[in-house]
Amino acid sequence: MSKKEERFLRRLSEFPRNKMDEETKQRMEATISDEEKQTAFLVKGKEQITMFKKVAAVVLTVGVLLAVILILPNQLNWNQSTPSSPEDEERTQNDDEVDQTGDDQKEEQDNGREPSDETKEDNDKEETKENDDTIPNPDAENVLRDYRETTEAIFESREDDLRIPGFDSKRDMVEHVNSVMSLEHGRWFAETYFEEREDGLFVIPMDGLVYLVEDEAYDVEQLSEREYQVIQERDSEMLGHIKMIYQLVYDGENWVVDSVDSEDVS
């Protein structure tokens, strides 16, 4: 009970009872009772609100802890079980091998000994493996020799009616020469020198290809890492005074002929 209510009750008890009729006293007592009930209700409501906040905080804390307990182990297991790609595994293995080789060599040097033959061999293998991705320089003479031998064999295999046995289409010819020609040059070769008919592939009569003369002078020029050209001057009654230009390209596996051109020499 508040101090205000206590003072009110004390004053009420001091009133002369004979001067207040019964109805007035009942109204005053009812008023006091209502105020007490209202005060008790407010106090109880505040207590319930406080209790609800405490319970909500506890529930939220428990929920966060449960989420951490359930999610964290799954995340760790996923990271441990995620398979690495073949490239990552190979890179890791190569790094381990390089580190081990370096450690062995360093240990031998620290002990005052020269690296062993085995260590040197391992180092040479690593250097060779690193150089596998580099593009080799072309053996221009050998590339153009394979080009000549392949095409000459095709023309020499023609039958009396000019049919090329074993070939049914120009596509077959392009696939056959792709070991010595680029795809573009192979298509040019098939379109220029052959005719496709219902009964097979036939040679078109015309002048043949002009090949490199190996025992005469020629120049090799690098245009890029994947492109070279071979230049040779030819001077004859049949050809005239010309400059033959053989373009060589690297197709990812081999050096092949990409084009054959000629220029007049004035």
Per residue in 97-110, pLDDT tens?
555 655 555 555 55
- Give the side-chain half-sphere CA count within 13 A for 208: 10
Q: Residue 51 has what pLDDT?
A: 78
The fraction of the chain above a pLDDT of 90, given in percent, is: 47
Give the distance, in angstroms, between the CA of residue 216 and the centroid of all CA atoms in the same chain.
49
Q: Residue 70 has what pLDDT?
A: 77
Q: Residue 125 has what pLDDT?
A: 56
230-239: pLDDT as tens digits: 999 999 989 8
Q: Residue 18 has what pLDDT?
A: 45
C-alpha distance from residue 159 to each of 18, 23, 167, 168 (Å): 151, 142, 12, 14
Q: Is residue 11 very low, low, confident or very high in pLDDT (cuts 50, 70, 90)?
A: low
Mean pLDDT rounded to a whole number for the chain:
79
Q: Residue 7 has what pLDDT?
A: 67
Report how far residue 186's alpha carbon sits from residue 174's, in angstroms, rounded to the nearest whole number.
5
Q: Residue 193 has what pLDDT?
A: 97
Report which of residues 80 and 183 the model is more confident about: 183
The fraction of the chain above a pLDDT of 70, given in percent, is: 59
Q: How many CB atoms lie within 10 A of CB 101?
A: 19
| 89 has a pLDDT exceeding 70 | no
**Is the whole model's pTM more than 0.85, yes or no?**
no
- HEC secondary structure over the chain: CCHHHHHHHHHHHHCCHHHCCHHHHHHHHHHHHHHHHHHHHHHHHHHHHHHHHHHHHHHHHHHHHHHHHHHHHHHHHHHHHCCCCHHHHHHHHHHHHHHHHHHHHHHHHHCCCCCCHHHHHHHHHHHHHHHCCCCCCCCHHHHHHHHHHHHHHHHHCCCCCCEECCCCCHHHHHHHCCCCECHHHHHHHHHHHEEEECCEEEECCCCCCCCCCCCCCCEEEEEECCEEEEEEEEEECCCEEEEEEEEEEECCCCEEEEEEEEEECC
Q: Is residue 21 very low, low, confident or very high in pLDDT (cuts 50, 70, 90)?
A: low
Report which of residues 95 and 174 the model is more confident about: 174
C-alpha distance from residue 160 to each of 149, 157, 234 (Å): 21, 10, 32
Report which of residues 55 and 245 the model is more confident about: 245
Domain ranges of the chain: 1-75, 140-264
Q: Which residue, 103, 200, 109, 101, is CA-closest to 158? A: 200
Q: Residue 178 is encoded by which pair of tokens?
A: 């792709």
Report which of residues 146 and 120 the model is more confident about: 146
Q: Residue 123 has what pLDDT?
A: 61
Q: What are phi and psi of 234, to 5 degrees?
A: -125, 135
Report how far residue 125's alpha carbon sits from residue 106's, in angstroms, rounded to the nearest whole number.
18
114-145: pLDDT as tens digits: 555 665 566 665 555 445 568 899 999 999 99
Q: Which of 22-31, 40-49, 145-154 has the highest mean pLDDT?
A: 145-154
Report which of residues 56 and 28 the model is more confident about: 56
**How close are the terminal C-alpha atoms of the chain, in Å?**
126
